[in-house]
C-alpha cells in the first residue's frame, strides 16, 4: 500500500511540476508576444510620424509657395517691375521647397506663361493634364494632387503635381499654378528606410490612387485601390494601427496609417507579421526546448517518438524518391516532371519571368529496337538521358523522362532564344555520341526537339505551354527529324499563352 501511495504521490508531484512549468512558460511567452506586438505598433507609428512630418512639411511648403505666387499675381505693382525682378519676386520661395521638380504658371489655354526655371518660360502646353482639367471644370477644388505622370520638361521623370486654380475678378477661369513633385525623390526617401524583408510604405491619394510604394514597382504606381476594404479603412480614418492582408501583394502586416495635415494624402507604414514575430518565435522554440528538458517524465517518450518519426520520415522520403525517379535512366519521371512544372509555373507567374520547355524525342527509335533489340535500345536511352542532363547547367533546370523515348526539359527564367540554344546544344551533343543507327537516314542516333517559352500571367492555362512544345516537336519531326523547332508566336497566343515569343529563327 505504501509503495502504491508513493508511486501515486510521485506521479502526482511530477504532473503538478510539469503543469506548473508549462503554465509559467506559456504565460511568459504570451506576455513576450504581447510586448513584441506593442513594440511593432510603436515602431511603425514612430516611423509614420517622422515620414508624415517630412512629407507634410515639404508638400505644405510647396502649397504655401503656390499661394504666394497667386497673391503676387494679384498684386498689380509687380507687373511694372523689370522681368528679372518680377521673376524673382514670383518664385523666390521655390528654392526652399524639397522634392520640387518644376514650378509653372499656366494660362486658361494650358500654355506655360511663367516658369521658375528661367525668366523666359519653356514652351509647353498642359491642357490635357488632369490638374489643369479639374481646375478648369470646377471652382471649389482648392489644393489638388494629380495622378502620377511622366514629365515633359524633365526627361520623363515620374512626378505628381500640386496645383491651385487661378481665377479672374469675376470668377472666370484664368489658369493654374502648379508645382511638380519628383516621385523619384520620395522613392529615395522610402528606400533609405529599413523595414525588413516584407515591410512596406505606401502613399495614397485620398481616393485610393497609389502614388508611391516601397518596394517600388512602377506598374503599381497610379493604380486605383479605392475599392479595396483595406484601403477604404485608410481613407475613412484619421489615423490608426491595425492588422490586415495587403491587396497589393497578399502579405499579412501590422499597418499604421495617417492623413498628411492639410493635404489629400494618406501615408501607411506596414511591417510583416512574420518578421515581427521572428525573434519571438526563436525565443519560443528555445524556451520550449528548455521546458522539455525540465519535464523529465516527457523526455524519454519524446526521444522515442522522435526516433520513430525520423525512421518513418526517412523511409517515406526514400519511397517518395523512388516513386519520382525513372528506373531505366535515373532521371525524374513523369510525375516528378509534372510537380516541377507546376512549381516553376507558379514561380514564373509570381515573378513575371519567362519559362521555357523542351521536348526531346529519339528519332526512329522503334526501328532501332527492331534492328538492335530492346537491350541496346535501353542503353541508347540511358546515353541520351545522361547527355541531356549534362547539357543543362543551372540548379533549377530539370530534365525528366516524359515517356518511352521522349524526354522533357524545364528551363526557368529562360526565353525562347536561350531555350533554342540549349536545345541545339542537346541535339549536337547526342549526334556527337556517334551511336550507330543503320535504319536512320543520318546513320546515327539523333533527336528531334520542340521548344516553347512563355511569360505567364495569373490565370494563363498551363496546358498551353505543353501543347506549344508538343507542336514544336511535331514540327521538328515533320522537318525531317534531327532538328530543333519552336512554335510560332501567333499560334502560341491563339492557344492562350500570355507572352509574345522571341523568334530565334
Q: How do residues 309-324 score in pLDDT, each as one tens digit?
A: 568 878 777 777 777 8
* C-alpha distance from residue 12 to each of 5, 299, 300, 478 (Å): 10, 17, 18, 81
Partners of 165 in beta bridges:
176
| Least confidently predicted of 14-28, 40-54, 249-263, 289-303 | 289-303
Distance CA 270, CA 51 (A): 13
User: Beta-carbon neighbour count of residue 130 at 10 Å?
Assistant: 15
* Digit-coded pLDDT (tens) for 415-458: 999 999 999 999 999 999 999 999 999 999 999 999 999 999 88
> Residue ranges per domain, the chain?
62-184, 191-276, 284-320, 334-494
Task: Name the grid cell of 315.
Answer: 523511409
Classified by CATH at the fold level, domain 191-276 comes out as Beta-Lactamase (3.30.450)
Query: Does the domain formed by 62-184 have CATH 3.40.50.300?
Result: no
Q: What is the pLDDT of residue 446?
A: 95
| Confidence (pTM) | 0.50
The two domains 62-184 and 334-494 share their CATH topology (first three levels equal): no
Architecture of domain 334-494: 2-Layer Sandwich (3.30)
pLDDT class of 5 with cuts at 50, 70, 90: low
- 256 CB-near residues (< 8 Å, 6+ apart): 41, 44, 45, 47, 48, 239, 240, 241, 268, 269, 270
Distance CA 321, CA 431 (A): 31
Task: Name the grid cell of 133.
Answer: 482639367
Which active-site residues does the annotation give? 405
Amino acid at each position: 500500500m505504501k509503495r502504491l501511495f508513493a508511486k501515486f504521490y510521485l506521479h502526482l508531484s511530477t504532473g503538478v511540476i510539469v503543469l506548473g512549468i508549462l503554465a509559467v512558460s506559456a504565460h511568459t511567452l504570451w506576455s513576450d508576444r504581447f510586448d513584441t506586438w506593442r513594440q511593432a505598433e510603436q515602431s511603425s507609428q514612430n516611423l509614420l510620424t517622422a515620414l508624415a512630418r517630412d512629407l507634410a512639411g515639404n508638400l505644405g511648403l510647396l502649397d504655401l509657395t503656390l499661394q504666394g505666387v497667386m497673391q503676387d499675381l494679384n498684386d498689380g505693382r509687380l507687373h511694372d517691375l523689370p522681368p528679372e525682378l518680377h521673376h524673382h519676386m514670383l518664385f523666390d520661395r521655390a528654392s526652399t521647397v524639397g522634392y520640387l521638380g518644376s514650378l509653372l504658371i499656366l494660362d486658361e489655354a494650358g500654355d506655360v506663361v511663367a516658369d521658375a526655371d528661367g525668366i523666359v518660360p519653356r514652351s509647353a502646353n498642359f491642357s490635357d493634364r488632369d490638374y489643369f482639367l479639374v481646375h478648369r471644370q470646377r471652382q471649389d477644388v482648392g489644393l489638388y494632387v494629380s495622378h502620377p505622370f511622366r514629365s515633359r520638361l524633365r526627361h520623363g521623370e515620374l512626378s505628381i503635381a500640386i496645383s491651385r486654380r487661378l481665377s479672374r475678378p469675376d470668377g472666370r477661369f484664368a489658369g493654374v499654378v502648379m508645382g511638380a513633385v519628383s516621385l523619384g525623390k520620395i522613392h529615395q526617401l522610402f528606400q533609405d528606410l529599413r523595414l525588413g524583408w516584407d515591410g512596406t510604405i505606401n502613399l495614397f491619394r485620398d481616393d485610393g490612387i497609389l502614388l508611391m510604394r516601397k518596394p517600388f514597382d512602377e506598374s503599381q504606381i497610379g493604380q486605383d485601390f479605392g475599392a479595396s476594404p483595406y484601403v477604404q479603412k485608410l481613407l475613412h480614418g484619421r489615423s490608426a494601427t491595425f492588422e490586415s492582408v495587403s491587396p497589393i501583394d497578399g502579405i499579412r502586416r501590422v499597418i499604421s496609417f495617417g492623413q498628411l495635415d492639410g493635404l489629400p494624402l494618406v501615408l501607411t507604414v506596414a511591417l510583416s507579421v512574420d518578421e515581427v514575430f521572428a525573434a519571438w518565435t526563436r525565443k519560443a522554440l528555445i524556451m520550449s526546448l528548455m521546458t522539455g528538458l525540465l519535464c523529465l517524465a516527457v523526455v524519454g517518450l519524446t526521444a522515442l517518438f522522435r526516433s520513430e518519426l525520423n525512421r518513418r520520415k526517412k523511409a517515406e522520403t526514400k519511397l517518395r524518391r523512388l516513386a519520382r525517379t525513372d528506373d531505366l535512366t535515373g532521371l525524374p519521371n513523369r510525375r516528378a516532371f509534372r510537380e516541377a512544372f507546376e512549381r516553376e509555373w507558379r514561380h514564373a507567374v509570381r515573378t513575371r519571368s519567362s519559362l521555357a520547355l523542351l521536348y526531346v524525342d529519339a528519332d526512329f527509335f522503334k526501328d532501332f529496337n527492331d534492328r538492335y533489340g530492346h537491350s541496346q535500345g535501353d542503353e541508347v536511352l540511358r546515353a541520351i538521358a545522361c547527355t541531356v542532363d549534362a547539357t543543362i547547367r543551372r540548379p533549377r533546370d530539370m530534365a525528366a523522362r516524359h515517356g518511352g523515348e521522349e524526354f522533357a526539359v524545364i528551363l526557368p527564367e529562360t526565353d525562347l532564344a536561350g531555350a533554342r540554344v540549349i536545345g541545339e546544344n542537346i541535339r549536337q551533343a547526342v549526334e556527337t555520341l556517334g551511336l550507330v543507327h543503320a535504319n536512320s537516314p543520318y546513320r546515327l542516333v539523333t533527336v528531334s526537339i520542340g521548344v516553347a517559352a512563355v511569360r505567364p500571367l495569373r490565370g494563363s492555362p498551363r496546358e498551353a505551354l505543353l501543347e506549344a512544345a508538343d507542336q514544336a516537336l511535331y514540327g521538328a519531326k515533320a522537318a525531317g527529324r534531327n532538328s530543333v523547332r519552336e512554335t510560332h508566336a501567333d499560334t502560341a497566343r491563339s492557344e492562350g499563352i500570355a507572352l509574345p515569343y522571341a523568334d530565334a529563327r
